[in-house]
Structure 1
Amino acid sequence: MPETEVLRERSEMDPQYQWDLTPMYRDDAAWEQELAALESRLEQLTAFAGTLRDAAAIRAYLDAATDFGRTLSNLYCYASLRRSEDTRAEAGQRTYARITAHYVQAMAAISFAEPEILALPEETLRSIVQDPQMAEHRFTLENLLRQKPHTLSAPEEKLLATFGEALGAPAEVADNLQDADLVFDPAQNAAGETMEVTGSNYIMLQMSPDRTLRRSAFASFYKGYRQHINTFAAAYAGAVKAATAEASVRRYDSSRAMSMAGENIPPQVYDSLIEAVHRHMPAMYRYVALRKKILGLDELHYYDVYAPLVSEVKVRYTYEQAQQMVLDAVAPLGEDYVRMVRRAFAERWIDVYPNKGKSGGAYSSGTYDSNPYILTNFTGTLDSVSTIAHEMGHSLHTWLSNHHQPPQYADYTLFVAEVASTVNENLLIEQLLQKKQEPAMRLYLLNQYLENFKGTVYRQTMFAEFEREAHAMAERGEALNPAALNALYRRLVQEYFGPELVLDEEVQYEWARIPHFYRPFYVYKYATGYSTAVALSEAILREGEPAVRRYKEFLSMGGSAYPLDELRHAGVDLTTPAPVDAALQKFERILDDAERTLARL
C-alpha cells in the first residue's frame, strides 16, 4: 500500500488478501452455537471437584480439561481475530468481551483442580506421577509439583481467578486507547503535503528519507501520547500493581520471579542478558555515529534512527513479490517446510493490508484445531516483507508443534516463541545479501540487518530493563506516575543509544506505546530469542542438514520439555552469556561490512 494511500474500510477491500476464518467456524452463528454448549461442558469439569485423589480420577480430569480447553481456545481465538479486523466495530467488541468473560468464568470454575491435586501428601502425589495411567500427562504433573510452594488453597485460587477480568482491565484500557480512540494530527512532508498518521503507518513514516516528514510525524505521534499520558501511566501502574500483588500472594520474591518461574527460567538469564548488552554498548554507539555520518546530519534526533542509510535506494515490493522472497529465504529448511509456507499463502492464512480500525502491528495466532493465522499490515517495504517471514516462522512453529505433540503439550512457551520467527528473518536477509552486491543496495540491506539487531536485541533489552526497574519501584512502594516513568525511560534511551543522539522531549513518552509491557517480563524473550536465532540460522547455513534436522526437532517439541532444555537440544545454551555475546559480535561484523561498503560508494 503506497504511503499516500488513505486507509479504507474493510468492506471496500479485496477479500483475496484477507484471512479465511471459515475453517474455524463457518460463520458467527456457528461460533454462537458452540459457545452456547460451553456451560454444560464446564459443569462436567466442575463435577470433578473433591474427587481428585488417585491416578484414575486425575487422568480423567486432565483428559476432560484438555478437551474443554481446546474448545475454549477455538472460541477465544476466533473472537480475537474477528475483533482485530476492526477494533471500532461494536459487534466485535461485544463478542470478544463475552468470550473473555466466559474464559475468566471457566478459569475460576476449574481453579479447584491444581490446589486439590497439590493438597495430596507429597509421597502420594509422586506415586501418582509415576503411575502408568499418567504417562501422557507426566510432564504436566511434574511441572505442577515444581510449583507447589506457590499454589494457593482451592478457595484462594478461585478468588484470584475470579478477579482475572478486572486485573486485565489496564491492558484493555491501553489497547482501546491506542487502537480505537487515539487520533493523531496529520504530518507534513517537505513539499507541504499532508500525510495521515496512524499506529499502523507511524514506523513507515519514520523510515521515510524525507526528514521534514519524519520530524512532523514524530511530533504528531507523541503529541497524541502526551495528551493521554496520565491515562497511560494509570493503566500501566495498575498492570504492574496487579502483577506485584499476585506475586506477593503467591509467595514469590518479586513479580519478575513469578513470571519467569512458569517456564523454569532462572533470574540470572534475565540479568545476564542486560549485562551482556551493556558490555556491547560501544557497538551501538558506533552504529549511531555511523548513521549520523551517512545521513550527513549535524545532530541525530530520535526521528532519524529509522531513516534509510541509502535514501536513493527506493525499493518497494508487491505482496506477490514478498511471497516469493519468503519462499526463497526458507529454502534451506527443506522442501517440506517450503510446501507448508506455500499452503499458508494459498489457503489465506494471512490478513495482509491495513484497513480502518484494524489492529496495528502483526501477530500469529491459532489453536490446536485451526490454521495458525497471521495478521499483518503490509505496506510494501522491506520491513513488511521481513514481517511476513517473521510471522510465518511463528505459524510454522505452531503447525509443527501441533502435528507432533498431543494437545496438552502442543503449546510452546513464550521463551522460545521468538526463535523460529527470527530464524526466518535472518535467513531472508542473508539470502538477499548473497544476491545483492552493488554497494548502495548492499548498504540498504545491511541497514535492515543492523536495524533488526537494534530493534530486537538492544531495544528489547532496554524495554526489559525498563520493566525490571518499574516493577522494582512498585515493590519498593514508589509511585509509577508519568514523571517517574518518563524519567526512567529517558535515562535508558540515553544509556542505550549514547551521546550522539539528541533526546527530544517526545522521547520520554515512547514507553506508553509498548503493548508488551502489559504482559510482564515478556520483552526480554525477544532478545534471548534473537540471540538464539542468530546461532541457529548461522548453523543452518554453515552445516546444512544436521543443523536443519536439530532445528526442526526443536520446532516439533511444543511444550513437552522446559524451554532451556529444548534450546539445548537445538544446540544453544542460554544459561551462559555466550549466545548473546556471539550475537552482538555478529552485529559488530555486520557493522564492519557496512563501513567497508560505505567506502565503496
Structure 2
Amino acid sequence: MERLDVPVNETWDLTLIYKNKDEFFEDEKRAQSLLSSLRERKDCFTKSKEDFHTFYEDYVTLSRLLSEMYEYAHLNTDVEPGNQDYQLLLSHILTLFDQFENNLDFMNVEIIKNKEAIEKYLEDNSFDLYRYQIKQILREEKHMLSQEMETLLSKMSPIANTGEQIFDALRLEYEDVIVDGERKTLNSATLNEFLKNPSQEVRKQAYEQFYKEYKRYENVFALTLADCMKKDAFYADVRHFNDPLDYSLWDDDVPRELFYKILDKANKDYRPLFHRYNKLKKELLKLDTLYNYDLFTPLVKPSVKRYSIDECFNIILDVTSVFGEEYTDIIKKARDERWIDYHPTKGKATGAYSAGCYDTKPYILTNFIGDYDSLSTLIHELGHSCHTYLSCKYQDPANSDYRIFVAEVASTVNETLLINHMISHAKSDEEKAYFLYEFLENCVGLIFRQPMYAQFEDTLHQWAKDHIPMNASKITSLYDKINKEYYGEDVTNNQYVGHSCFYIPHFYYNYYVYKYTLGMTVALAIVSRILNHDSQQVEQYLSFLKSGGSMSPIDLLKKAGVDPLDDKIYDDAFHYFEHLLNMFEEIMKRGEKDVKE
C-alpha cells in the first residue's frame, strides 16, 4: 500500500509537533544558542546557587528542545524514508546531539568536583524539581574520570558503537523456500511464517537456509559480537566497575542480586516447567524427534477472526476500564487526536513502537493488518503511551522520563489483561485453547527464553572482562550448549542452532534482555491481583504510572505494590504459568480424546 492511499485519520498527525520544517529550524537556532550559552558558563556555573539553578534549568530546556526535534525528524523518516527533507532534518538533529554530548562533557565532572557546594544548594526549595536527577549525577563520583578523560571518552562515542552499527548495516540474502512447488521469498520478516508451516520439511528448509547464511559469515558476526562485549568491558574497566554487569546495572540503579535472582528463578528453580511444556509440544505434534525449528509450529488452529480498528478500540476500552476514566480517556485521545500510524506502507519501518517526549504526544507506529496480533500489539503500545502521557502530566520535565528498566511493565500489564479477557470470553474450547496457547508462548518468550539469552550474554561479557579469546566456534558452541540445557531432552538441536545467536539484535546491546523477564513477572503479579478485585492494586499501579522517573526503578516498582527483590513475585509468576499450562493441557487432551471417540 502506498502512503497516499491510507485514510488521513489512520495516519498520525505530526503537525502537532511542528507545523512545518521552518518551525523545526527555529528550534534548532534556539538550541544552538542555548548550547553556546551553556558552554560559555563552563567555569562559573557552580559558583553560586543562583548560577547553578539557572544553568541546570537551561540544560533541561535544551534537552527538551532536542527531544522534540528528534521525535519530529525520526517519526517522519520512519514513515517516509524517501523524503529527503525529513532525512535532512534527521541529519541536523543527530549532528546537534553529537555537539550536545561533546560540548557539555564538562558538566558532570564540574558538578562532582564541587560536590560539597552542590549538596548545600540542593537543600534549597528551588531545587525541588531537580534534586533527584542531580543526586543521580553525584552518585557517579567514584566512576567519574578527569575532564581530559571524559572529553576523550565523549569523542570516542561515535566509534565505540561500531559493532552495533555494523550489525544494523549487515543485510543478508537467503535462498527461496519451496512450498507446494512454489518458490517463496525468505527473509527476516517471513521466517516466522515458514516456521509455522504444517510441513516439517518446509520448517527445516526455511530454518537451515536462513541460518546457514549466518554460518557463512560467522567470522564477521563473531568479531562484531566480540567487539560489542569488549567495548562494554572497556568502559566498565576505565570507570572502575567490577565488570560489565555492574556497569550496566549502575545506569539502571538496581542491585546486582536482581539480575541473578531473575536468572536463577528461570534457569534453575522453574526450568522443569519449560521442559514439561516442550514435552507436551512433542506429544501434540506427534513427532518422533522435535527439532528446535518445530517449536513455533502452532499447537492449535490459528484464529481467523479479523478485527477492524473500531472493534480493537472497543475491546481495548473494555479491557482497560478497570483503570478508570482518566486512563480510558487517554486511549480515546490517541484515536481522536491521531497519535497512531496504523497501516503497513511502502518503506515504512517494520514492527511497532511508542515514541514521544515531554513536549509531544506519545505517538505509536504499528503495522496493523487486523489479526489478533494487531490487536495485541495495539494495546501493548497504548500501555507505553498511557505511561508516558501520565508521567508527563504529573511530573515536571526533569522527572517525567522513566528508565527503560521499568518501561515494559505498563505494556505487558495491558497485554496480559487482554489475553485474560479473551480467554474468559471464549465461546468454545477451541477458541479458549488458542488464547491460552498465545499466552503460554508469550510467557515462554519472556520468562524462560530471555533469561537464557541473559545467561549467554553474561558469559560473553565475563569472557571479555577476563580477556578470554572469542571466535565463531567458541561463541556458537556456547550458545548450542545453553540451548540444549535450556530446552531439555525432548528438543533436538539442529546444526545451525549455535549460529542463531548472531541474529538476535539484543546481544549487540548492553544487558537488556533480562528487563523483559522483569516486566512480564511484575505484570503477572499486578494483573493477578487486579483480577482478584484488589482495588488497592489499581491505585498503586496508577500511582506508579504517574511517577515517571522521579525515583529509582526499584522504588517505582515498590510504589506499584511489587518488590522485584522479593522471591514471591517470581514464584507467583511461574506458578501462574503452571496454572495456564494445566488448563491448556487439559483442553488439548480432552480434544484428542473426543476425536478418538
Same fold (TM over 0.5): yes
What displacement does 1:267 show? 0.6
1:394/1:417 contact within 8 Å kept: yes
Task: Tell me by how many angstroms 1:155 deviates.
Answer: 2.6
C-alpha displacement of 1:35 = 2.8
Counterpart residue identity of residue 588, structure 2: L
- Match of residue 416, structure 2, among 400, 422, 426: 426
1:454: which partner in 2?
Answer: 444
1:46 corresponds in structure 2 to 39
CA shift, 1:98, in A, is 4.0
Matches within 5 A, 1:185-224: 185-189=175-179, 191-209=180-198, 211-224=200-213
The structure-2 alpha-carbon separation of the partners of 1:572 and 1:275, relative to structure 1 and needing over 3 Å to count, comes to same
* Letter matched to residue 105 of structure 1: Q
Q: CA deviation at 1:307?
A: 2.0
Distance in 1 between the 2:238 and 2:549 partners? 27
Is the Cα contact below 8 Å between 1:207 and 1:214 reproduced in 2? yes
- The TM-score normalised by the length of structure 1 is 0.92
In the alignment, the residues of structure 2 paired with residue 369 and residue 75 of structure 1 have an alpha-carbon distance, to the nearest angstrom, of 10
Q: Tell me by how many angstroms 1:210 deviates.
A: 5.0
Q: Give the 3 Å change call, closer, same or farther, for CA 315–506 of structure 1 in structure 2.
A: farther
Residues 332 and 544 in structure 1, CA contact (< 8 A), matched pair in contact too: no
Task: Say whether 1:276 aligns with 2:270.
Answer: no
Match of 2:148 in 1: 155
1:367 and 2:357 aligned: yes
1:401–1:295 distance in 2 versus 1, CA, 3 Å: same
Structure-2 separation of matches of 1:510 and 1:310: 26
Aligned partners of 2:303 and 2:372 also within 8 Å? no
- Counterparts of 2:443 and 2:405, CA distance in 1: 18
Question: 1:533 Cα deviation (Å)?
Answer: 0.6
Structure 2 distance, partners of 1:381, 1:485, is 38
Relative distance call for 1:293 and 1:412 in structure 2 (3 A) is same
Correspondence for 1:56:
50
Structure 1: unaligned runs, 5 residues or longer: 1-7
Compared with structure 1, are the counterparts of its residues 474 and 91 closer, same or farther at alpha carbon in structure 2 (3 Å cutoff)?
farther
Q: Identify the residue that residue 70 of structure 2 maps to in structure 1.
A: 76
Contact map agreement 1:85 1:359 (CA 8 A) in 2: yes
CA-CA distance at 1:310 after TM superposition: 1.0
**1:21: which partner in 2?**
14
1:103 and 2:93 aligned: no
Range with greater deviation from structure 2 (488-497 or 198-207): 198-207
Is the counterpart of residue 118 in structure 1 residue 107 in structure 2?
A: no
AA in 1 matched with 2:135: E
Match in the other structure for 1:308: 298
Counterpart position of 2:238: 249
Once residues 59 and 532 of structure 2 are traced to their aligned partners in structure 1, the CA distance between those partners, rounded to angstroms, is 44
SS for the counterpart of 1:543 is coil
For 1:10 and 1:211, how far apart are their aligned partners in 2? 38
RMSD (CA atoms): 2.3
1:66 corresponds to 2:60: yes
Q: What amino acid sits opposite 1:200 in the alignment?
A: A
* Corresponding residue of 1:582: 572
Q: Distance in 1 between matches of 2:199 and 2:301?
A: 9
Q: Tell me if structure 2 keeps the 8 A contact 1:332–1:541.
A: no
Change (3 A) 1:295 1:572: same
Aligned to 1:337: 327
- Give the SS at the match of 1:364: strand
Q: Give the alignment of 1:266-415 within 5 angstroms.
A: 266-278=255-267, 279-311=269-301, 313-415=303-405
- 1:312 Cα offset (Å): 6.4
Say if 1:572 and 1:579, in contact at 8 Å, map to a contact too. yes
Matched AA of 1:480? M
Write the letter of the residue equivalent to 2:104.
I
2:474 to 480, 484, 497: 484
CA distance in 1, matches of 2:12, 2:201: 36
Contact 2:304–2:371, Cα closer than 8 Å, also in 1 = no
Q: Is the 8 A contact 1:439 1:600 kept in 2?
A: no
Is residue 529 of structure 1 aligned with residue 511 of structure 2?
no
Residues 164-203 of structure 1 aligned to structure 2 (within 5 Å): 164-177=157-170, 181-189=171-179, 191-203=180-192
C-alpha distance in 1 between matches for 2:126 and 2:473: 57
Sort the Cα spacing of 1:363 and 1:68 in 2 relative to 1 into closer, same or farther, 3 A.
same
Deviations 1:313-360 (A, max 9, x none): 544444443333323322222222122112212333223333444333
1:133 aligns with 2:123: no
Letter of the structure 1 residue corresponding to residue 277 of structure 2: Y
In 1, are the aligned partners of 2:302 and 2:434 still within 8 Å (CA)? no
Does 1:471 find its partner at 2:461? yes
Cα pair distance change 1:457/1:471, threshold 3 Å: same
Q: Distance in 1 between matches of 2:539 and 2:277?
A: 35
1:569 paired with 2:559, answer: yes
What is aligned with 1:518? 508
Q: Against the structure 1 CA distance between its residues 234 and 357, is the aligned structure 2 distance closer, same or farther, given a 3 Å change threshold?
A: farther
Could you tell me how far apart the structure 2 residues matched to 1:212 and 1:400 are?
50
**Which residue identity is paired with 2:339?**
W
Q: CA separation in 2, counterparts of 1:585 and 1:145?
A: 41
The answer to whether the Cα contact below 8 Å between 2:174 and 2:187 also exists between their aligned partners in 1 is yes
1:36, CA displacement in angstroms?
4.4
Q: Is the 8 A contact 1:104 1:164 kept in 2?
A: no
- Indicate the SS of the match to 1:311: coil
| TM-superposed deviation, 1:13 | 5.0
User: Structure 1 pair 373/206, CA: closer, same or farther in 2 (3 Å)?
Assistant: farther
Contact 1:108 1:159 in 2 (8 A): no
| TM-score computed with the length of structure 2 as normaliser | 0.93
**1:536 to partner: Cα distance:** 0.7
In 2: Cα distance, 1:87 partner to 1:580 partner: 43
Residues 292 and 319 of structure 1, relative CA distance in 2, 3 Å threshold: farther
Would you say the 8 A contact 2:24–2:69 is kept in 1? yes
Between the aligned residues of both structures, percent identity stands at 32
Aligned-residue offset at 1:520: 0.6
Q: Which residue of 2 aligns with 1:438?
A: 428
Q: Secondary structure at the match of 2:214?
A: helix
Instruction: Report the count of equivalent residues.
Output: 589
Cα drift, residue 154 of structure 1:
2.4
SS of 1:424's equivalent?
A: helix
Go from structure 1 to structure 2 and tell me whether the alpha carbon gap of 1:319 and 1:486 turns closer, same or farther (over 3 Å shift). Answer: farther
Deviation at 1:32, TM superposition (A): 3.9
Note the alpha carbon deviations across 1:132-185, whole angstroms, 9 max, x for none.
Answer: 3322211122222222111122232222122222222322222232xxx33333
Distance 1:15 1:217 in 2: 38
Task: Quote the offset at 1:226 in angstroms.
Answer: 3.5
Instruction: Give 2:489's match in structure 1, choosing from 461, 474, 499.
Output: 499
